[in-house]
Amino acid sequence: MNGHDSELMESVLISSGFQRVDSEAAANIVILNTCSVREQAEHKAIGRLQQLARRKALEKNFYLGVSGCMAQNLGLELFRRVPALDFAIAPGSIYAIGEVLKRLEHGEKQIFLANGDIETFAEDDTNFCRRKITRVSAFVTIANGCNMNCAYCIVPKTRGRETCRPINNIMHEVQFLVANGVKEIILGGQIVNFYGIRKIPFENGKSPFVQLLEKIHTIDGLERIRFLSPHPSGFRDDLIRSYSDLPKLCPHVHFPIQSGSDRILRAMRRSYTRRMALEILGNLRRSIPAMAISTDLIVGFPGEMEEDFHQTEQLFNEIDFDMAFIFKYSPRAGTSAAAMGNQIPKIISEERNQILLKRLAVTSLRRNQLFLNSHQSVLVEASSAKDPRILWGYTPHHKKVFFPAPEKMIGKIVDVKITRITTCALTGTLASE
């Protein structure tokens, strides 16, 4: 979502008359779009800001800003930590970036916009028309914020209560993107499968999210639909069936499990059990051929005993993840887990992290092997940075494929025969245009 927010700010700035430059040194305005999920990211951002602040003393016409979760999390404290900072904008107010810069030009100082300071998700919002389309795949925000209360997570504080975007407005954006060459969309929000759950009634047993998928599926010219991320609770049969009913819905799910131990899931306040999660993933793998599954996992959550970690290792054996993002638990001030006893020493989290990474290398290789010698339809994104004669793109299962082909293939869906695999990518040859 942060990557997408950066793109949105860029589009708003360009349409307000600003220009993009190629290097930080050439810029008069530098905005750090920040993440607060782990402490280290915040430390790094503060360090970078303090470095950049030195330019303020030397260049009269230089503006420095922070956007994203850290702006909401630290608020006015940021101006104390970095006195040269000109502005801080929380994730919910980034559309106001153009106006903030105008206010600075008029001499205002240290401007702070929190979540809720500007209206988001208006029914008739047309800001998306200002989007600069650079890729064949585009992210589309359908909801923002989160009403869950996971013990480790800062997001409910930084992105606020869940708000969801009206269906018609989402449809307009997707239609606009497709009319401008986009072939794949990624629907995004903190918990996409809870989309509209309190506002839109179920229809024939279908949740508002599944209704949204069905509507988007009707858009001609759109080839692929993905979403990020669902919550394991609320991943019901209607959504599992969508994968068979809607051919544009890609056979890959990012399913953040967080832990394989019921005791830890309960302590994390994750409202599902290991068995429930396994059942959903089992159903998905049974009903959709070679369904790709990726996940998020936290190791070293307070109180995670050897036995709990062992349960997570076991889960790894049972699921064979295609990909997993493994995080070492990072205590975040203001979350309930930060105040828990039994914090796990860093050295143990690191050890557990390494064990899972090693196992992931085995499972992702095994999963990629399923595709060796097969033909895959690849949505071509770009040429490789190392060699412009090599293009890359993704298969429906979200496997990255490299293959030699002329540049004119970029943006197309092509048939590639897979000839080699590694843990993180596939290589192949073009079978047809």
Tell the smallest beta-carbon distance from residue 336 to ligand SF4 (Å): 11
- Residue 65 interacts with which of ligand SF4, ligand 5AD, none, CB < 5 to 8 Å by class: none
Tell the smallest beta-carbon distance from residue 301 to ligand 5AD (Å): 8
Does position 156 bind ligand SF4 by CB under 6 A?
yes
Alpha helix (H) residue ranges in 117-261 = 155-159, 167-179, 208-217, 237-245
Does position 231 bind ligand SF4 by CB under 6 A?
yes
Per-residue burial over 316-339, b if 16 or more Cβ lie within 10 Å, else e, is beebbbbbbebbbbbebeebebbe
Q: Which of 72, 115, 312, 330 binds ligand 5AD (CB under 6 A)?
A: 330
C-beta separation of 417 from 428 below 8 A: yes
- Nearer to ligand 5AD among residue 255 and residue 392 (C-beta): 255
Does position 298 bind ligand 5AD by CB under 6 A?
yes
Scanning 62-70, 148-156, 207-215, 240-248 for contacts with ligand SF4 by CB under 6 A, the matching segment is: 148-156
C-beta separation of 123 from 169 below 8 A: yes
Does position 316 bind ligand 5AD by CB under 6 A?
no
Rounded Cα distance between 376 and 91, Å, is: 38
| Contact string 102-131 vs ligand 5AD (x = CB under 6 A) | ------------------------------
Residue 344 main-chain phi, psi, to 5 deg: -90, 130
Instruction: Tell me the three state secondary structure of residue 167.
Output: helix
Residue 254 main-chain phi, psi, to 5 deg: -95, 115
Strand partners, 163: 144
Rounded Cα distance between 11 and 13, Å, is: 5
Q: Which of 128, 152, 255, 272 binds ligand 5AD (CB under 6 A)?
A: 152
Does position 38 bind ligand 5AD by CB under 6 A?
yes
Return the closest-CA partner of residue 284 out of 316, 236, 212. 236
Does position 256 bind ligand 5AD by CB under 6 A?
yes
Count interface residues toward ligand 5AD (CB under 6 A).
12
Does position 312 bind ligand SF4 by CB under 6 A?
no
Q: Which of 12, 74, 153, 291 binds ligand SF4 (CB under 6 A)?
A: 153
Rounded Cα distance between 275 and 90, Å, is: 38
Contacting positions for ligand SF4 (CB under 6 A): 146, 148, 150, 153, 155-156, 190-191, 231
Q: Which residues bind ligand 5AD (CB under 6 A)?
A: 37-38, 152-153, 256, 258, 296, 298, 327, 329-330, 332
